[in-house]
Each structure stands twice: as structure tokens, then as C-alpha cells.
Chain A
């Protein structure tokens, strides 16, 4: 048996958009153990509930993440609405659903580009991000913001989308879907991609469930957990099934995200078809008094905003449990037994968002 050595990976590394540190224990080129460490970008966002009114805190919640900011804002608002028993107008719920799915498209395309880049496939990276621009343009046009949308508020949404604009959005999706088909063919069928991903970083179904994996990490191992099935926002009115793969390897996680792009397009189409007329917000009176675990399905998986109010305008507690935090233990499991050269691809395969995880 060879001597064990420890190789530090991160917090600064070419494939890491955000800092996570891994102590990799190696025997020759094989990783035999991993100690993860985060904490480089802790911002203390949760403490700001003491400084901001609950209606203002939505701006903080949105800034938890620069990729899925809309879903953070929506999940926070949903939690306050549940505590205060607010009936949010149906049109607002449909608009939230539409923006959530555009956020998922944007996040998955961003990740696919980064993933291609991590494998050294830079042309594919550029193509993924070229398509992502279309999604960002729609978000900017309909909310006013490319990254931080700011369109969600407690009681509904700040902006409506006209029916004419919705019809244009639905029509534009046809070309976008065709472009995505070309891109997905490469990710799903190209030999060089498969040689980097198949049987790399395998996580069994049992391990995925036991270790608390969520989102594409869980679904890539065959665990069909998708919080949209709880029916929040307008998802209860739409038809869809969680996308799953059974291989549990990096390819499986990639394939789930690729297939979810098409699922999101379908959900947007359904939402545009069914969106009712009506108000987009309800008047909010009083302060939240009670608690709620508001849950939603982010592009990376299950997001939990725990909110507790005491009848004043400041919450007692906001606790944000992001999918990346709970996907760290499964990552440790995936890395054990892999080759050192595969570590960057495996780390990226969970789509880590560390700033989001540390809040």
C-alpha cells in the first residue's frame, strides 16, 4: 500500500466559481477520503431580519443568490403569506411560476456552460451561454432585472406581463427549444463528454437518499424528489413529472439538468396557456405572527426558508437552508474512490453555489 498524502483543493481553483476547500486524502492518484470546508464568504444575511422590516427583507432574501434570486424572493414571500394566511391572486402565482421556470432555464444553462468549460470544451461553454442570453433578455424585459429580478413582493408580484407579451414569449420558445435540442445532443451523446462523465462520481440511490441529496443530485441517482409536486405557486395546476436518471454518475446529473430544460419550457407553455386574468397582488395588513418552513424547488434542489415572526414588523428568525449545503455530504461520498483528475468535474456536477450555502 502506498503512503497517504493530503492534497488541498480550493478554495481558489480554476473550476470553482466560489470558494470551497476540500482536503483530499490520496493513495497514489485515488481519493480515499475527503474533508470539506466552507465559510469563506459567510455574509450573515439572516441576521438582517433584525434590521429590516419583513416587507423589506425580500430584497435581502433575493440577494442570497445571484443565480436563483427570484426563487429565493418567492420562497420568502410565500413563507410570510402562509404565516399571515394571505390569499395571493392566481395571476400572481402563475407569474411567479413562469419567472421561476425561466430562472431554472438560466441556471441550468449557466451550469452546463461551466461544466463544459471544466471539461475543457470551451466551444460548448460559449454555445450554452449564448442560449442563456435569450433567457436573461426575457427576464430583463419582463421584470427589469437580468440577475436580481425584484419582481416578487409579499402578497403578490410587482409587475404584470401583458397577454400580448406572454403570447410572444410562448412563440419565441419554439426556436429556443430547437436551439436547445442541438445543444442537448452534444451533452447527451458526444463521445468526449461521455468519456469524462460516465461512471465518474457515482452516488447510489440509497446513499443519495440517506445523505440528504436534493435536486438533480438526488434525481440523477433515481430519487424522485421534486418540491414542485407539493403544488406551491401554480404548479398544482400544471402537468409534469420529476425528471430522473438511474446511473447516479456525473453523466446522470448532467442528463437530468439537460432534460429539465425541456420540462421547464413545457411548464412555461402550460402556465402561459392557463394564466387567469385578475389582480397581481393583495393588500397586506398587520405583521406576521407564527412560523413556517417555506419550501420550493430551486434549480439546484430543495430550498427551505424557515421564518418566525412575533407580531412585530421584524422577524425573530429567518433561516435559509440552500440545496448546496445539503448536497455537500453526498459530494464527499461521490469523491471517495475517484481519481484526482476527476475531482473538478465531480465537484461541479453538484452545481455548487457556496455564497448561497453560507448566506
Chain B
């Protein structure tokens, strides 16, 4: 049997190692579409996390009762229920936010991040573990959307969370708040993150190699020249 991760590792893995946006490349539609501002990103991520956590809770609780032939249909039904719930609550309590996020809230139903976690994790793990995993993935999604939205908002409209951070003489890059800006930002971010991870891996490998090669390099080769 596969060795189980500790609970904290189960949570942490969603933040970086398995980050839903940067590593798993899931949930791209909302990640690209709503991140015109940091606030929209946060709201979208919170809504998604809510749906993710509660669907994981329900699905992992009843995972042994749902016949595997109809599991996808059952998952979609459960997810759709929570999404509609979020949609109604947002419309009733936060009308302006709901107007901004508009059609993207109902689309959480088909967000592959949520269905993917149910299929890959909740349907095979205990309730507690599934909720922790969902929280981790939600946090990872939140970080990713906040960074994406933040960068686009700063460059595209000079502000972050509505506060002006760049001086007036800076001409906002309109493209950043257009759809193309989302692809550009995501592409550069992923590029940087992958370069960083690669570098880290290479350094680790070199460190290991050095440790083993050390006794050899200690032998006085240079004495020949001398």
C-alpha cells in the first residue's frame, strides 16, 4: 500500500507541489476569465473552495454507497447543488460581487479542479483527509488567482484591491485586463515557476553528486602538474 502522507503534508501539497493552477493546470477557465482584479480572484477562489470542501465532505462520506457506474453523475449533482447554493447566497448578500463574477459562478459546476479532486481523492479517502485535501487545493487556487489577479490589476489599472499603487504617469496596459493579458501573465508565471523548480532540482542533484564524488576529488590530482 502507498505510504500515507501526514495531514499537514496533505494540506501543504495543494499550495505548491500540486498547485491546482500552476502544477496541475486545472480550473483554467475561471483562473483566466475572472482575474481582471485581485478582489475578483479572491472571491472566485473562495466560492470554489466552498464548493470543493463541501462536495468533498459529502462525497467522501457516501463514497461506499455510490455505485461506481453512476459516480460521475452523482458527483455532478452534488457539486451543482453547492454551486447553485453559492450563486443564490452571493446574489442575495453580495449583489455587486455577483454582478462582477456573473456567469462564472454557475460554471464552477464544470470546473475540472472540483470534479478532478472528487475522482482522484475524495472517492478513495476518508472524510477528514478529503476535507484537508480540499482545503489545501482551495488555498492553492486562492494563491494562484490572487497572484494572477494582482499582477493584472497592478499593470492593467494601476491599483491593487482598489488602492492605487502605481503613479499617475504610468499608462495602464489595457491588454492586461483583456483576455490576452490573462494568457500572457499565466504563461510568464508558469515559465518563471518552472525555471525555479528546475534550478532547485538541478542544485539538489548536484549537491548529492558532490557528496559522493568528494572523496575522489580530494585525491591530489593536481600534484601531477606540480
| A and B: interacting chains | no
